[in-house]
Every structure is written in structure tokens, then in C-alpha cells.
Structure 1
Amino acid sequence: MRSLLLSASLLALASGSAHAVDAAAAIELAKANGCLSCHSSQEKIVGPSYASVAAKYKDDKDAVASLAQSIQNGSKGKWGRIPMPPHPSMNAADIKTLAQWIMATH
């Protein structure tokens, strides 16, 4: 986990200010909200890796908003048969932080 945190932090710094996020805070949000039970940085677990998500949406100017909507409301069929559960109790700022982190650091 330490190498994931270091990699995420370095990539966040290298990605520029347009998508600058606090990687350590985003990782803590992901841990606290169960995201890492289904997702990892580079490997598919139950859901896709964050790298796969970022690659899929890399040319989408609305990627952060699309990801935020999927985090908030859940999704079905985007990555196979297993749906992503909604996270209605997460606040909008935390959801946006996670979406920005996924796009900026993977």
C-alpha cells in the first residue's frame, strides 16, 4: 500500500494543476468508503482497476462528472455483469475528489 500511495502522490504532482488532487486524502476516502474492496490501482478485483477506468475515459472531457455520477448512483453494465453499488451517503466534494484522483493518477 505504501508504494501505491507514493506512486499516486508522484503522479498527482506530475499531472498538473488542472487535475491536482490530494492523493493521500483520496486514498483515505477510497479506504473509508469500501472502494478498495472492489477496485485497485492496476488490477481488476470485482470492478475494473482505476487505471482501466482512467484509460476508458481519458478522452472524455466530462469524465470526472461521469465518474462522480457512477460513484453516487452506482452503475450497471459498464464493466460487465456485476453492478457497482451506489454511494448515496458520500458528499459531493468527496465524490468529486475520488473521481479527480482516478483520472489524474492512473
Structure 2
Amino acid sequence: MLCVADGEAQAQSEPTALVDQQHCMFCHTVDAPFLAPSFQQIAAHYRNMPDASVMLEQKLRVGGKAHWGDMSMPLPADRGGPLSPEDAHTLVQWVLNQ
């Protein structure tokens, strides 16, 4: 999500507690591919796709097939536990604004 202050867009700050809880950095980094694409790569790929946010939020909540190479999104139980729709939305909006 972008916050607008004094006419300038500023990127949302990292939702650190959620990133830590979901172990996002075990596979992703902000700016370079690791075991999975970087958050910047994900943002560039999905930013202008209709309904990308909904698809990505669902993938965070239930896991999903691989869209980048051979690695699929682990199930929530394998990466930190269940994720509420609101928390999934927060994470996806932060990633898409990288």
C-alpha cells in the first residue's frame, strides 16, 4: 500500500512481525533471487495484473503451485502457521509496492 504525504508517494514499511512469523526470508529477499524470486521481482511481475493481489493472498493463505521455477509456496503449517485474510493482504500489498 502506498501512503501519500505532501503529494509524494512513500512505500509502506515492512510488516516485520508477519515477515518473521511466516519465515518469508527463508526463501525470499527484498532485491535478489534466493531460493525463490525476490520481492522486487514479484512486484514487477504482478504489479499491473488484474486480480494479482487476490491470487497472491490466496497463495499465502493456502500454499500453491510453482509459478517461478520448481519451488512451490509451502503450506502455511510449514512456514509459520495460519494467516488471516487481513495479514495476507498486508503482506501482499507490501510486496507489490517494492
* Fold match (TM-score > 0.5): yes
Shorter chain as normaliser: what TM range? 0.7 to 0.9
Cα–Cα, structure 1 residues 78 and 15, in superposed 2: closer, same or farther, change >3 Å? farther
Which residue is equivalent to 1:85? 74
Which residue is equivalent to 2:89? 96
SS in 2 for 1:83: coil
Q: Distance in 1 between matches of 2:29 and 2:9?
A: 20
TM-score (norm 2): 0.78
Contact 1:47 1:84 in 2 (8 A): no
Q: Provide the aligned length of Structure 1 versus Structure 2.
A: 90
Q: Which consecutive unaligned segments of at least 5 residues does structure 2 have? A: none
The share of aligned pairs that are identical, in percent, is: 28
Higher strand content, 1 or 2:
2
Q: Which consecutive unaligned segments of at least 5 residues does structure 1 have? A: 1-10
Q: Distance in 1 between matches of 2:55 and 2:32?
A: 21
Greater C-alpha radius of gyration: 2
Structure 1 consecutive aligned stretches of length 4 or more whose deviation exceeds 3 Å: 11-16
